[in-house]
Amino acid sequence: MRAALILACVLVLPIVGYADDAVLADKFEVTAGYSRTSQSLMHGVLVTYQNDPTLSVNYETAQGFASLQNGVGVWLVRDELFKAGLSVNYMMGRQEKADPRYAGMGSVAGSAMSYVWAEWQPIKDAITLYGNAGNSWHGASGTLVQWGVTLGVPLINQVNGFVDLSRYWANQRYVQQYYGVTPSQSQTSHYGAFNAHMSGTLYANAQMGVAIELDRDMDLIVSHGRSTASAMLMESPLINQKSQTISALVLTRRFP
């Protein structure tokens, strides 16, 4: 239901904000670093969280945007405190060799997907609400949704603290593709057969950190937290840990 509300906000509010497009400058920024995650740029979807290099490139103009996070698309709305976009993006697959939990399970190919996303700051720099949803062009891979809130607070000088709370939700087809075990997969792995029987939340994430402004164009961000699998996801024999560590150490550089 909360995912549906996010999509409703994106679809209902596109009339807001076009008057401000002319005054918003083009944006280009690059973020690079290291993170412990289950959504790896190098290895795709993981069951066992891993430390991997991370990279994000984001370019925005009045007409549209291109980024590793949100794909290539057009604005539904764009102003200083609220923006939303519709794009073509990429849904990660999985590599059997990337995670011991996938032994005998085979790989899953990645896929293009239709993607919609939104970010809103009801209180500038203090509260950010965000949500996104992607539907794979490969029918068996299904739909993945994320939503969350980031709370920011100034600490000392150029250092700001933040807390981020988020959820991942998927439909039944996605859960079956990435966490189900078919009879043939059961024969080639050590798992019993498992058929996903419902859609629902996959993970609940909570992390806190600091953002350090090194200069007007560069920030260093450090975060640490936990990712907790839902009861539904724990039914899959692939999942052997209820809670895992998530973390990030990244440097963001903005270009005028």
Residue bearing tokens 């150029």: 158
pLDDT of residue 24: 85
Q: How far apart are CA 127 and CA 208, in angstroms?
A: 14
pLDDT of residue 23: 63
State phi, psi for 231 to the nearest 5 degrees: -60, -35
Residue bearing tokens 């990712």: 227
- Quick one: fold of 2-255? Porin (2.40.160)
Q: How far apart are CA 87 and CA 145, in angstroms?
A: 15
Q: How many CB atoms lie within 10 A of CB 6?
A: 22
Contact 78, 62 (CB under 8 A): yes
Which structure tokens are listed for 116? 């919609």
β 243-255/143-156 pair status: unpaired
Contact 146, 168 (CB under 8 A): yes
Contact 107, 96 (CB under 8 A): yes
Q: What does the pLDDT look like over 65-85, one tens digit per residue?
A: 999 999 999 999 999 999 999
pLDDT averaged over every residue in the chain: 91
Specify the DSSP class assigned to residue 194: B
Q: What does the pLDDT look like over 125-181, one tens digit per residue?
A: 899 999 999 999 998 999 999 999 999 999 999 999 999 999 999 999 999 999 999
Domain boundaries defined on the chain = 2-255
Prediction pTM value? 0.88
Which structure tokens are listed for 208? 């806190």
pLDDT of residue 113: 98
Find, among 132, 105, 138, 133, the residue nearest to 119 by Cα. 132
Q: How far apart are CA 161 and CA 153, in angstroms?
A: 5
Contact 106, 96 (CB under 8 A): yes
Q: What does the pLDDT look like over 34-45, one tens digit per residue?
A: 999 999 988 999
Q: Can you tell me the mean pLDDT for 8-35?
A: 62
Residue bearing tokens 């600490």: 155
Q: How far apart are CA 207 and CA 44, in angstroms?
A: 21
Please report which residue ranges of 142-236 form alpha helices under DSSP H. 172-179, 183-188, 231-234
